[in-house]
Chains A and B, each alone.
Chain A
Amino acid sequence: MSLNKYDGIVIGSGSVGTPLAYFLALEGWRILVLDGKKSPGQGQNKAAIGGVRATHSDPAKITLCLQSIEIFSGWKEKHGTDIGWIEGGYCFPIYTGEDEASLRKLLPVQKSFGLNIDWVGPEKIKELIPGINEKGLRGGTWSPGDGQVSPLKAVAAFWKESRDRGAEYRFDEPVTDLIISSRRLEGVITPRGKYYADVVVNAAGAYAKQIGEMAGIDIPVVPDSHEAGISAPLERFIDPLIVDIRPGPWGKTSNFYFGQNDRGQVIFCYTPLRPLVGTNRAVTSEFMPTIARRMIDLIPRLKNMLIRRVWRGLYPMTPDGIIILDKVREREGFYLAAGMCGQGFMLGPGVGLNLANLIVRGKPLIDPDIFSSLGFHRNFQAQRSEALK
């Protein structure tokens, strides 16, 4: 076997690439992971706030995230490494009848795919979220099996375990071109060399489109961005991740979400009403004043926490808001784990596990019909919509 010939090459060592490399290495595959950054997780992984939920409306995302949760929650027992898993659940407190109706409508679907979720009354919400603004609080959904993980620790853990199983990582080596012979993708080119493999996976996150262009394939992934921040550590007082789906009263935000991580730090983010399209990751002056009002309005006692850091991360968006997980028909050996729409971290292990199965055994672990809804060759303009973005 030639030194630069691998069974599989993974482009990108982030939230998706590292678990994928881990699951492929577990199968005994000889894997090379390439990344243009200096180390793993230096793209959007470290911008993630770490919430992991199966509380979605899309069946594929529900089932993939249930698998992610299984992998994250069992990690410490299996590998001995703490990745900051907290089984604190997810809570969507609800203040309007319209929102209540739409969330209640989702419950049967969510439950049918195995999600442990229910509508709970305001008393339970107040117990879950001490100090929550009670005015107009109708109750909310509560999914106790969801939780949170440290994205930084998780990527480091997948990196280590995959290397221990033979995966090779090359950093500071961006893929600059692909080696294509007739319809087959045979390898990749970086400034330092050429690498060949039977399978190449595009897990390049916000840069998936550019990798696709090298293969002559249009991958409809366009990054926009969300800003996020973190407080100084506080004594634990909220366990669940909280999502407030109301549009913000100042016309700047749709929803916002936050939680208290394993270090006691409150970590938070909002979805801007007008997407910030592009790859700029520098913070704007608008973020903190906007999020502070929303969060203090929801939980007034948060006013006294200290804010330590703010940042911005990219959301590689697809036109329909659903991820792409498939093999590319036009390029044999080319697989896509792309367009994670800002949920690459929570989806990563489930995506990695299923894609590894698809690659090695020709079929995913989850129901192939559900899996096929993530197909690359779908009609991206069809009006599907994800209710719980």
Chain B
Amino acid sequence: MKAREGEVITSALFANGIKVFGHHPRDGAPQGIFCVNGQCSQCMVLLNGVPVKGCMTTLMPGMHIESCEGVPGLPEDDALPDFSDPETIETDVLVIGGGPAGINAARELGILGIDTLVVDDKNELGGKLTLQTHPFFGSKDDCYAGIRGIHIARILTAELEKLESVKTIRNTTAVGVFHDGIIGMYGEGKYFLVRPRAVLVSCGAREKTLAFPGCDLPGVYGAGAFQTLLNRDLILPTERLFIVGGGNVGLIAGYHAIQAGIQVVGLVEALPHCGGYKVHLDKLKRLGVPVFTSHTILAAEGADTLERIIISGIDEGFRPIPGTEKEYNVDTLLIAVGLTPVDELYKKMRDFGIECYACGDSEEIAEASAALFSGKIIGRKIARSLGHPVEIPAEWYATEEVLRSKPGKKIPFQPADQNMRMYPLIRCVEEIPCDPCVDSCPQGSIIIEEDSIMGLPVFRGECIGCMKCVSACPALAITVVQPDYDTANDTALVVIPYELAWNDLAEGKEVRTVDMEGNPIGGGKIIKFKKSALDKSRILVFLEVPRKDAFQAAGFLVQEIEKGQKGPVVTETLPDDTIICRCERITAGEIRGEIRAGVRDMNILKATVRSGMGACGGKSCTELILKLYRDEGVDPADVTLPTERPFVAEVPFSTFAGVKGERGGK
């Protein structure tokens, strides 16, 4: 088996077609990836005989990797090592998490010369920016709108590296907060302590999960996990994909999948409308992805890995409607049902009276553009708390609010014939904080009339056909139309932004056009295509369509729309054998038994059925158990949550004693 040095173990295994990393001691169930973010511990493998999280462990030559079958033994290595005290680093500010919020905060602190230590659990700074291959929304001045997340991460990292008072430590996780005001860190085979004057928790979010039969099968995992495999590690983890959840995370993951040539078989969303930006939803539909609102996932099935799923329609009470079941053959199911702040360290720090702040998703789940901007503000706030008299402009708070805004009002798309040779059609019909189109037009013809970037852009004035707006719109929501392209044949020219593989295009190729929301319109022919001058990852496709379709044609299908088979009638939605706690493999039935016996304290569940006692410490099951309580008619307010204790991730014993060079690799 071959692997690239420096990639994480799980990605190397995926690249070699291995999706099962071991079997659980309790019931022999196959174990695969789930979070690919160091949170869940499901990807344990044995590295030189010792269990490690495969998704957090970088490959190095000479490593011996085995699957983790049942309970691991302890290698009979009886050499007495040398000990040393863990290092204690003193710093003015500790920033935990070098994502968009953390980096930008550290930058503000660094500009003021404040001694700052940024600790991040990945190999590269940028957090989830490093997975975001799509251009950002927002505004250029505030948060790099129009630039792809992955590039923003590099720009910010480079800026941070220039600041002398800022140090960064990578591949290192903050594993525990102690009551003596010290934070324990583990990474690269080393445990050390940090004693800060103030802490910023900007650890981002973890993905919420969902319980259904088969939710624990390898092949069912988070959308963020998928993006990590695909966009960070450049692994093609699947051929046929289905998505649960129509928020931005699910929609964008679907788009990235299609960009990678993966068949996105469909997407279900439990609510009657997808919660993500309409532009993201439309983009996905236009490529040929069926989106089922008011639908849910009923079951995932397969022998050792996922083979098929069953979805169904649901009523207003979110109850499945028998007879509406559909079955699809897929090898991967992405769970994109929202995010939860990673804030357990922050809460502990507050309990212990440590000067601490939270920012980005650790504070409030929002877009990365908002996190970028909030980081600036919090950086200055911390500086002020340390006695640096720096101002925080009042308008920063206003901008922060705008960037955090949920989508606003929607208007219908009503294109009008402008009586011009060519001009843009802007399919931006839902208020979101975004304005790169305004800047893009050299004629100044695209304007937002409102004061806020939440306003919808309109075209007023001249169009010189430069196509810059088509290139600039992060959402691919602008086409340029030339209605009277060929009057003899009664055809129009539509210039469409395209971010998929260049090879699939050919001059003269016939395509099936769709409207803004992906409804089929008719046919079209590719006249020419060229790389955008503004953004090399974007292609402008010049499409000749019948004149009557000129205003409607917004894209063309790139994959077959699949219909699925009629699925079996499912009567029980969450059967007793559904896994709720994936670390300890505790079922819904076991937990229900305790709930019905009157248990209202999750600490007792820990004692009696062991839910939440595994490696992850209840990070994924606590919410699912609360849902079981609700389903049993118990008010979650009457339920006592489990006590949280260090460590947030398992730490090798040797590292506490400063034992060096024991284990290969980081």
The chain A residue with its CB closest to the CB of B644 is A309
Is A304 interfacial (CB 8 A cutoff)? Answer: yes
**If A39-B604, A283-B179, A310-B646 touch, does A301 touch B77 (CB 8 Å cutoff)?**
yes
Q: Which of B28-55 contact A (CB under 8 A)?
A: 49-51
User: Of A46, A289, A300, A310, which is in contact with the most chain B CB atoms at under 10 Å from its CB?
Assistant: A289
B656 touches A292 (CB 8 A): yes
User: How distant is the Cα of A374 from the Cα of B39 in the complex, in angstroms?
Assistant: 49
Task: Give the shortest distance, in Å, between B583 (CB) and chain A (any CB).
Answer: 10
Closest partner residue, chain B, to A238 (CB atom): B74
Q: Is A280 an interface residue (CB 8 A)?
A: yes
Listed stretches B57-65, B437-445, B625-633, B647-655; interface member: B647-655
The A-contacting residues of B in range 52-104, CB under 8 angstroms, are 71-81, 83, 85-86
A220 at the interface (CB under 8 A from B): no
With A283-B646, A300-B78, A309-B647 known to touch, is A289 a contact of B657 (CB < 8 Å)? Answer: yes
Contacts of A264 in B (CB 8 A): 71
Asked if A301 meets B76 with Cβ closer than 8 Å, knowing A292-B654, A292-B657, the reply is: yes
Is residue B182 within 8 Å, beta carbon to beta carbon, of the partner chain?
Answer: yes
Q: Is B178 an interface residue (CB 8 A)?
A: yes
B452: Cβ under 8 A from any A Cβ: no
Complex interface bits, A120-134 against B, C-beta within 8 A gives 1, otherwise 0: 000000000011010
- Tell me which residues across on chain A come within 8 A of B607, comparing CB atoms: 41, 46, 152-153, 155-156
Interface centre among B74, B83, B191, B615 (most CB of A within 10 A): B74
Q: Which residues of A contact B187 (CB under 8 A)?
A: none
Residues of B within 8 Å of A38, CB to CB, are 600-601, 603, 640
Give the shortest distance, in Å, between A302 (CB) and chain B (any CB). 6
CA distance A310 to B72 in the complex (A): 21
Determine if B163 is an interface residue (Cβ-Cβ < 8 Å). no
What CA separation (Å) do A283 and B657 show in the bound complex? 17
CB contacts (< 8 Å) of A284 on chain B: these are 178-180
The interface-forming segment of A1-9, A189-197, A209-217, A227-235 is: A227-235
Which B residues are in CB contact (< 8 Å) with A153? 607-608
Q: Is the CB of A234 within 8 A of B73?
A: yes
Q: Once the chains are docked, how many angstroms separate the CA of A41 from the CA of B608?
A: 12
- Asked if B86 contacts A307 (CB within 8 A), the reply is no
Q: Would you call A152 and B86 a contact (CB within 8 A)?
A: no
| A296 and B179 contacting across the interface, CB-CB below 8 Å | no
In the complex, residue of chain B having the shortest beta-carbon distance to the beta carbon of A133: B80
Most buried by B among A133, A152, A231, A285: A285
Contacts of A133 in B (CB 8 A): 80
Interface assignment of B395: CB less than 8 Å from any CB of chain A: no
Inter-chain contacts of A297 with B (CB < 8 A)? 80, 83
Q: Is A359 an interface residue (CB 8 A)?
A: no
Given A306-B652, A310-B645, A301 contacting B657 (CB threshold 8 A): no
Q: Does A303 contact B (CB under 8 A)?
A: yes
Contact of B651 among A42, A282, A293, A306 (CB under 8 A): A306
How long is the Cα–Cα vector from A72 to B663 in the complex, in angstroms?
Answer: 41
Q: Counting CB contacts under 8 A, is B261 at the interface?
A: no
Chain A CB within 8 A of B266 CB: no
Q: Does B318 contact A (CB under 8 A)?
A: no
Residue in chain A with minimal CB distance to B85 = A289
Complex contacts, B25 vs chain A, CB 8 Å:
233
Q: Check B184–A285 contact: CB distance below 8 A.
A: yes
Q: Are A308 and B615 in contact (CB under 8 A)?
A: yes
Q: How far is the CA of A133 from the CA of B81 in the complex (A)?
A: 12
CB contact under 8 A between A131 and B78, given known A232-B650, A285-B178: yes
Q: Are B72 and A300 in contact (CB under 8 A)?
A: no
Does A301 contact B83, Cβ atoms closer than 8 Å?
no
Q: Mark B429-447, 1 if CB is under 8 A from A, else 0.
A: 0000000000000000000
A295 within 8 A of B: yes
In the complex, whether B662 has a CB less than 8 A from a CB of chain A is yes
B251 CB to closest chain A CB (Å) equals: 37
A39 lies within 8 A of B72 (CB): no
Q: Is A358 at the interface (CB under 8 A from chain B)? A: no
How far does the Cβ of B254 sit from chain A's closest Cβ, in whole Å?
36
B662 pairs with A310, CB closer than 8 A: no
Q: CB distance A304 to B75 under 8 Å?
A: yes
Q: Are A237 and B652 in contact (CB under 8 A)?
A: no
| A75 contacts partner chain B, Cβ-Cβ < 8 Å | no
The residue that B73 contacts in the complex, of A42, A237, A288, with Cβ under 8 A, is A237
Give every chain A residue within 8 A of B179 (Cβ-Cβ): 280, 282-284
A360 at the interface (CB under 8 A from B): no
Chain A neighbourhood of B49, CB < 8 A: 304
Tell me which residues across on chain A come within 8 A of B83, comparing CB atoms: 293, 296-297
Q: Which residue in A235, A288, A306, A309 is a CB contact (below 8 Å) of B71?
A: A235
- Does residue B658 face the partner (Cβ distance < 8 Å to A)? yes
* Cα–Cα distance between A295 and B659 once the two chains are bound (Å): 13
Cβ contact within 8 Å between A293 and B657: yes
**A304 and B601 in contact, given A283-B176, A284-B178 (Cβ under 8 angstroms):** no
Cβ-based interface call for A311 (8 A): yes
Least CB distance, A309 to chain B, in whole angstroms: 5
> What is the distance, in angstroms, from A248's C-beta to the closest C-beta of chain B?
12
Inter-chain contacts of B180 with A (CB < 8 A): 284-286
Nearest opposing residue in chain B for A236, CB measure:
B71
Residues of A within 8 A of B561 (CB): none
A46 to B126, CA, bound (A): 40
In the complex, are the beta carbons of A301 and B78 less than 8 A apart?
yes
A235→B603 CA distance, assembly (Å)? 26
> Binary interface profile of A, 225-251, with partner B (CB < 8 Å = 1, else 0)?
000000111110100000000000000
**Within 8 Å of chain B (Cβ to Cβ): is A305?**
yes
Given A39-B640, A235-B73, A296-B657, are A303 and B608 also a contact pair (CB < 8 Å)? no
In chain A, what residue has the closest Cβ to B195? A285
Given known pairs A38-B600, A289-B658, the reply for A305 and B74 (CB within 8 Å) is yes
A283–B78 CB distance below 8 A? no
For A156, list chain B residues within 8 Å (CB).
604, 607-608
Closest A residue to B179 using CB positions:
A282
C-alpha gap A304/B77 in the complex (Å): 9
C-alpha gap A131/B78 in the complex (Å):
6
Contact A307 B656 (CB under 8 A): yes
| From A264, A291, A304, residue with most partner B Cβ within 10 Å | A304
A237 and B79 CA atoms in complex are apart in Å by 17
In angstroms, Cα B72 to Cα A286, docked, is 28
30 A-B pairs within 8 Å (CB atoms) are namely A38-B601, A39-B599, A42-B601, A42-B603, A130-B76, A152-B607, A152-B608, A156-B604, A156-B607, A231-B653, A264-B71, A284-B180, A285-B178, A286-B180, A288-B651, A289-B191, A292-B654, A293-B657, A296-B81, A300-B79, A301-B75, A302-B653, A303-B652, A304-B662, A305-B653, A306-B652, A307-B647, A308-B647, A309-B647, A310-B176
Q: What 14 new A-B contacts, CB under 8 Å, besides A307-B656, A310-B176?
A: A133-B80, A155-B607, A280-B179, A283-B176, A288-B191, A288-B651, A289-B86, A296-B657, A297-B80, A301-B78, A303-B77, A303-B662, A305-B74, A311-B645
Residues of A within 8 A of B (CB): 38-42, 46, 130-131, 133, 152-153, 155-156, 231-235, 237, 264, 280, 282-286, 288-289, 291-293, 295-297, 300-311
